[in-house]
Amino acid sequence: MLEVDISGKVGALEFQAQFESEGGVTSLFGQSGAGKTTLTNMIAGLVKPDRGRIALDGTVLFDAAKGINLPVQRRCIGHVFQDARLFPHLSVKSNLTYARWAGGRSGNRDFGEVVELLGLSTLLGRKPETLSGGEKQRVAIGRALLSDPHLLIMDEPLASLDQARRNDILPYLDRLCVDAGIPILYVSHSIEEVARLSSTLVILSEGRTPAYGPVAEMLTRTDLGRATGRHEAGALVHGNVTDIDANWGLTFVDIGGAVLQIPDLPAKAGDTVRLRIRARDVALAVEPPKGLSIRNAFQARITSISEESGPYAEILCALEDQTIRARITRASVADLELFTGKEVTVLVKSVAIDRRQRNLV
């Protein structure tokens, strides 16, 4: 368990960060300049906070009151930096084993397993400068893993990559998050990555942590618009793949109370999948509409309407135990006479569902 409660001034930013995470993948989410890298550097020991306490699995890493400040090399935190930071004069293999021959780490983790997990076997003899951006990041992740860390920090590992490279590396991250067996602190400003990979979400905004909690719950909070950015707002839903219609290229996903039809989902019948439905791709109707191209329509009950965002209103709808988030204009809320508790028909454009979703294990 990671416990962070620190404050202090770094540059022009006044820090006041407090969160806990139980394990699994914790995402540290915030916009550029929110202080994400500074906060991870504090946890890693590269930057010293003025006040507060950081503990990992009961070991105190930093405690200003008690004068404890473990040096970086003794914190046992693997750090994957935005810019990979491979040692340019060493081969990929020597980079991977650096923690063992220079860091004095015992090497409990199997070298071959990590190489296999990240697809590195063909890269071992090469020098970092001959690698692509995505390959560099995979090596950096492997190198951090092989230092037997108690926590793996990944500071926007995809930020310096183009979309094609990101798509190359995301499947590896999916596997890593499930298979690594250690807690991961994943830093990102992309809500898509966060929704895809994490179990806990910590929001960071201007050096402060206004909220943290389970990712599905956090994504349906409408009071965090400024911190998360309105444009990307959306809800996570879980579902089971019940059927696949190869003829029309549709996958049927039962999300409890409704069955969604999703084109080309890379999943097979019986899989549990996690889908992100963006608020702007959801429409509401007060009675079941006819003659629409939208295939996903189901009944749900409005649980919350918040209208603080200019012309728009954020609506949360409950569907059994899941929540769907919709963004419509305030004018529509007035015209349709929507109120909390009202039964409405939720319309989701089927094409709007992210097709690259990982299986939950």
Partner 1 sequence: MDFFNLQPDEWQALTLTLRVAAAALLVTLPLAILVAYILARYRFPGHGFVNALVHLPLVLPPVVTGYVLLLTFGRKGPIGVFLDNLFGISFAFNWTGAALAASVMSFPLIVRPIRLSFEAVDPKLEDAARSLGAHRFVGFLTVTLPLALPGILGGAILGFAKAMGEFGATITFVSNIPGETRTLALALYTATQTPSGDLAAFRLTLIAVVVAFAALIASELLARRLRTRLGGGNA
Q: Out of 23, 103, 210, 229, which residue is the one contacting partner 1 (CB under 8 A)?
A: 103
Supply angle C-alpha 71, 74, 78, rounded to 5.
Answer: 105
> Which class for 38: exposed (0-12), middle (13-18), buried (19 or more C-beta within 10 A)?
buried
Q: Of 73 and 299, which CB lies nearer to partner 1 in the complex structure? A: 73
Q: How many residues bind partner 1 (CB under 8 A)?
A: 29
Both tokens of residue 170?
């995301």
Q: Out of 65, 108, 129, 248, which residue is the one contacting partner 1 (CB under 8 A)?
A: 129
**Taking Cα atoms as reference points, which of 224, 221, 120 lies closest to residue 176?**
120
Q: Out of 83, 271, 307, 354, which residue is the one contacting partner 1 (CB under 8 A)?
A: 83
Q: Out of 15, 29, 62, 81, which residue is the one contacting partner 1 (CB under 8 A)?
A: 81
Report phi then psi at 128, rounded to 5. Answer: -50, -35
Is 87 a binding residue for partner 1 by CB under 8 A? The answer is yes
Q: Of 129 and 337, which CB lies nearer to partner 1 in the complex structure? A: 129
Q: How far is the CB of 140 from partner 1 (least distance, A)?
A: 8
Question: What helix, strand, coil percent values describe the chain, rounded to 5?
Answer: 25, 35, 35
Taking the C-alpha atoms of residue 54 and residue 212, their distance in angstroms, rounded to an integer, is 16
CA distances from 190 to 26, 166, 229, 231, 353 (A): 14, 12, 10, 11, 16
Q: Out of 30, 38, 62, 105, which residue is the one contacting partner 1 (CB under 8 A)?
A: 105
Residues 39-58 close enough to bind partner 1 by CB under 8 A: 44, 46
How large is the angle between the packed helices 133-145 and 163-179, nearest 10 degrees?
Answer: 20
Q: Of 78 and 239, which CB lies nearer to partner 1 in the complex structure? A: 78
Q: Of 146 and 197, which CB lies nearer to partner 1 in the complex structure? A: 146
CB 303 within 8 A of CB 340: yes
CB 128 within 8 A of CB 136: yes
Is 85 a binding residue for partner 1 by CB under 8 A? The answer is yes
Stretch that binds partner 1, among 83-91, 111-119, 215-223, 265-273 (CB under 8 A): 83-91
Is 122 a binding residue for partner 1 by CB under 8 A? The answer is no
Is 138 a binding residue for partner 1 by CB under 8 A? The answer is no
Is 287 a binding residue for partner 1 by CB under 8 A? The answer is no
Taking the C-alpha atoms of residue 181 and residue 27, their distance in angstroms, rounded to an integer, is 16
Q: Out of 54, 77, 250, 344, which residue is the one contacting partner 1 (CB under 8 A)?
A: 77
CB 145 within 8 A of CB 152: yes
Is 111 a binding residue for partner 1 by CB under 8 A? The answer is no
Q: How far is the CB of 56 from partner 1 (least distance, A)?
A: 14
Q: Which amino acid is at 128?
A: P
Taking the C-alpha atoms of residue 351 and residue 330, their distance in angstroms, rounded to an integer, is 25
Stretch that binds partner 1, among 67-75, 214-222, 257-265, 273-281 (CB under 8 A): 67-75
Residues 140-199 close enough to bind partner 1 by CB under 8 A: 143-144, 147
Q: Out of 76, 285, 318, 319, which residue is the one contacting partner 1 (CB under 8 A)?
A: 76
Q: How far is the CB of 237 from partner 1 (least distance, A)?
A: 37
Stretch that binds partner 1, among 48-56, 100-108, 178-186, 301-309 (CB under 8 A): 100-108
**Taking Cα atoms as reference points, which of 8, 67, 65, 66 lies closest to residue 41?**
8
Both tokens of residue 144?
């951090």
- Name the residues that contact partner 1, by CB under 8 A: 44, 46, 71-74, 76-79, 81, 83, 85, 87-89, 98-99, 102-105, 127-130, 143-144, 147
